[in-house]
Amino acid sequence: MADKITFLGAGSTVFAKNVLGDVMLTSALQEFELALFDIDLERLKDSENMLNNLKATAGSGCVVKAYTDRKEALRGAKFVVNAIQVGGYDPCTITDFEIPKKYGLRQTIADTLGIGGIFRNLRTIPVMMEFARDMQEVCPDAWFLNYTNPMAVLTNAMITHGGIKTVGLCHSVQVCMPHLFDALGMEKDGVQTKIAGINHMAWLLEVTKDGVDLYPEIKRRALEKQKEKHHDMVRFELMHRFGYYVTESSEHNAEYHPYFIKKNYPELIDRFNIPLDEYPRRCVEQIERWKSMREELVGSKNLEHQRSHEYASYIFEAMVTNQPFKIGGNVMNTGLITNLPKEACVEVPCLVDASGVTPTYVGDLPPQLAALNRTNINTQLLTLEAAFTGKKEHIYHAALLDPHTAAELSIDDIVALCDDLIEAHGGWLPKFQ
């Protein structure tokens, strides 16, 4: 039997193209079966067609196979890629944004922390635990590459409660320095970086060239750029105030802190160019765009692909060839970042080779960065507590500890908001007591 890469949520056609198209272009991976699974059978079929077209143009030896039985898709897998979304834009994302809005609580993305992130976790964790149970049965030694958000909590759940070898992967690490340097017109070649923290709030701890710290120049240019409107104003402000650049975008970070979306300071939305309701807007656009994209991706016999910067195929390659590859990965904090809680999932440099994904030691973060991370970890850990005890009170705790939610609402409103969200989710959530 051939080795097997199983892709859960394979109906994400664009992402499947990137990850599995990359695999088809990697010589060490040509004997793998690419096993596709999705609960949306139409999208599953689309991805299968698209990949078979790619296979033909790339001349790949990989076998593409779509499954309607998840356990069969997973059976014997060596690698599992997870890109599912539970509840979709309609109804769940709509719920995540509209109900808080009634309480005057505004969000931008809601896929990580905050009230939206909490409920996204609560509806996704049970599905992930089903994956873990299946994997324990049919591929207990497989590596699970999680791309689904909220990254930190889901990866934590999969490792701690699922007992599966998991690494969480997020583009924000790879693009952090290039994005910043492009924005500031600085040269990227030969730049060394060190990034660690938690997913979506990891920190560019070091950025040097030939041993010279580039931060003074970065900060000088950033202050200059900040005089005009641009799309990264929240992050530049965070760097200005806390001294370090953060991995995730300004629209995300706007809702991880109590500083930007404030009823008392409505002018900050404009001043920091904060796109409220950004994520649902993107969802609607994406859905609208799908029709034309579908034509292009699924219908085109001559579909081409260039190996992308997604970590997945490089990780498979490193594990298969034993050539070391370095990633920023999400793993449990087994003493790696010494001033963050041991129960947290952290994003740190990891070494990948035939031994798997091995995290490296970081030590203490600068104290202000550890403090900011801890405010987010508080909500993460209480969300996990809610998911695994089934107690409603821990949902309230998670929301009460969220920096943005707690800054904006009273305790009564937070509790009522949680109750409303539980009710609106209906069957998308397990029962809480």
Q: Which residues are catalytic?
A: 171
Choose, by CB under 8 A, the member of 68, 136, 286, 358 that binds its own copies: 358
Q: Say which amino acid occupies 87.
A: G
170 is in an annotated binding site: yes
Choose, by CB under 8 A, the member of 168, 403, 418, 421 that binds its own copies: 403
Instruction: Report if residue 235 touches its own copies, rule: CB under 8 A.
Output: no
Query: Would you list the DSSP string of 160-223?
Result: HTT---EEE--HHHHHHHHHHHHHHT---TTEEEEEEEETTEEEEEEEEETTEE-HHHHHHHHH
149 is in an annotated binding site: yes
Are 253 and 204 within 8 A, CB to CB? no
Instruction: Report if residue 106 touches its own copies, rule: CB under 8 A.
Output: no
Binders of its own copies among residues 307 to 326 (CB under 8 A) are 322, 324-326
The least distance separating its own copies from the CB of residue 17, rounded to whole angstroms, comes to 27
β-strand 33-37 against 63-67: which pairing, if any? parallel
If DSSP codes are grouped into helix, strand and coil, which group holds residue 36? strand
Are 343 and 378 within 8 A, CB to CB? no
Choose, by CB under 8 A, the member of 211, 216, 426, 427 that binds its own copies: 211
Choose, by CB under 8 A, the member of 59, 185, 367, 426 that binds its own copies: 367
Choose, by CB under 8 A, the member of 24, 153, 382, 387 that binds its own copies: 382
Instruction: Report if residue 222 touches its own copies, rule: CB under 8 A.
Output: no
Closer residue to its own copies, CB minimum distance, 313 or 378: 378
Instruction: Report if residue 62 touches its own copies, rule: CB under 8 A.
Output: no
The least distance separating its own copies from the CB of residue 71, rounded to whole angstroms, comes to 20
Buried b (16+ CB within 10 A) or exposed e, 319-333: bbeeeebebbbbbbb
Q: Which two tokens stand for residue 379?
A: 């909500």
Binders of its own copies among residues 259 to 318 (CB under 8 A) are 259, 262-265, 268
Please calculate the CA angle 290-175-235 and round it to the nearest 5 degrees. 100
The least distance separating its own copies from the CB of residue 6, rounded to whole angstroms, comes to 16
If DSSP codes are grouped into helix, strand and coil, which group holds residue 149? coil
Whole-angstrom distance, CA of residue 314 vs CA of residue 62? 16
Whole-angstrom distance, CA of residue 260 vs CA of residue 179? 22
Are 18 and 310 within 8 A, CB to CB? yes
Instruction: Report if residue 59 touches its own copies, rule: CB under 8 A.
Output: no
Whether the link from the prior residue into 140 is cis, omega within 30° of 0, is no
Closer residue to its own copies, CB minimum distance, 217 or 343: 343
Beta bridge partners of 82: 8, 146
Choose, by CB under 8 A, the member of 94, 129, 186, 351 that binds its own copies: 351
Q: Which two tokens stand for residue 317?
A: 């390659």
The least distance separating its own copies from the CB of residue 123, rounded to whole angstroms, comes to 21
Whole-angstrom distance, CA of residue 336 vs CA of residue 431? 35
Closer residue to its own copies, CB minimum distance, 218 or 409: 409
Please calculate the CA angle 143-148-152 and round it to the nearest 5 degrees. 85
Q: What is the largest CA-CA distance in the chain?
A: 63
Instruction: Report if residue 397 touches its own copies, rule: CB under 8 A.
Output: yes
Burial of 12 per CB tally in 10 Å (0-12, 13-18, 19+): buried
Number of residues that bind its own copies (CB under 8 A): 69
Instruction: Report if residue 163 touches its own copies, rule: CB under 8 A.
Output: no
β-strand 201-209 against 191-198: which pairing, if any? antiparallel
200 is in an annotated binding site: yes
List Cβ neighbours of 61 (8 Å cut-off, separation of 6 or more): 30, 31
Instruction: Report if residue 396 touches its own copies, rule: CB under 8 A.
Output: yes
Q: Which stretch binds its own copies (CB under 8 A): 42-50, 215-223, 301-309, 329-337?
A: 329-337
Instruction: Report if residue 394 touches its own copies, rule: CB under 8 A.
Output: yes
Q: Which two tokens stand for residue 305?
A: 């692909």
* DSSP code of residue 306: -
Instruction: Report if residue 241 touches its own copies, rule: CB under 8 A.
Output: yes
* DSSP code of residue 342: T
Instruction: Report if residue 368 touches its own copies, rule: CB under 8 A.
Output: yes
Write each residue from 76 to 105 as x if it is in contact with its own copies (CB under 8 A), else as -, in one continuous string. Answer: --x---------------------------
The least distance separating its own copies from the CB of residue 281, rounded to whole angstroms, comes to 25
The least distance separating its own copies from the CB of residue 427, rounded to whole angstroms, comes to 27
Q: Which stretch binds its own copies (CB under 8 A): 48-56, 164-172, 406-414, 417-425?
A: 406-414
- List of residues contacting its own copies (CB under 8 A): 78, 141, 190, 192-194, 206, 208, 211, 237, 241-243, 257-259, 262-265, 268, 322, 324-326, 334-336, 338-339, 341-343, 349, 351, 353-355, 358-361, 363, 367-368, 370-372, 374-375, 378-379, 381-382, 385, 393-394, 396-397, 400-401, 403, 406-411, 415
The binding site consists of: 149, 170, 200
